[in-house]
Amino acid sequence: LPQLDLRVEAHNLKRFRRDFEGETQIAFPEPLVDLTSREVLVEKFVEGEPMLNFVKKEDEFHRRKDREELASIGLKTVMKMIFLNDFIHADLHPGNMIVDRNKSVRGQPLRIHMIDCGLTVELGERDHVNMVKILGSLIKRDGYAAGKLMVDTAKKCQATELDVELFCRGIDKIVEDDEDNNFLESVGD
């Protein structure tokens, strides 16, 4: 498995660092390739605190405004991975994100360091087009169509017609429940 060869992760880190070069609110640890082997990955230390602190705490250091900013940074990062680079971190969850303030930038904005980059996905043209169609349906608030596209473009689907119908209704309900939050409408703001 490629994820068991830590040289692959070092290569992924180098690519992410190149793809996000110049970004002030997203970063990836620098791998020390000369010290990295199949079994050992060495990278520069990243200082900060776990993303989960911002998810679970509400205090003077973990404000709602910070969570909103981090959500925006994360969304823009994933969109750039999907739409511009076609190279996606495939293990994104709060445990793989460290947050700090970028002290080298005026105002010291929040910055997310993405770690554990061993699993990545490159979609390819067909899957990339499918992803765009699904996201387009979500942005248009047509969850049923997004769900149907997910099923129709799946490599294998052993679901019954009833399973597909319930899945599509479920995606539609998620989109409907989001209506008051306007999350999809603020993408890119």
Max CA distance (Å), the chain: 55
Residue 188: both structure tokens together? 């890119």
The set of catalytic residues is 91
> Cα angle at 98 between 66 and 39, to 5 degrees?
165
Residue 37: both structure tokens together? 């082997």
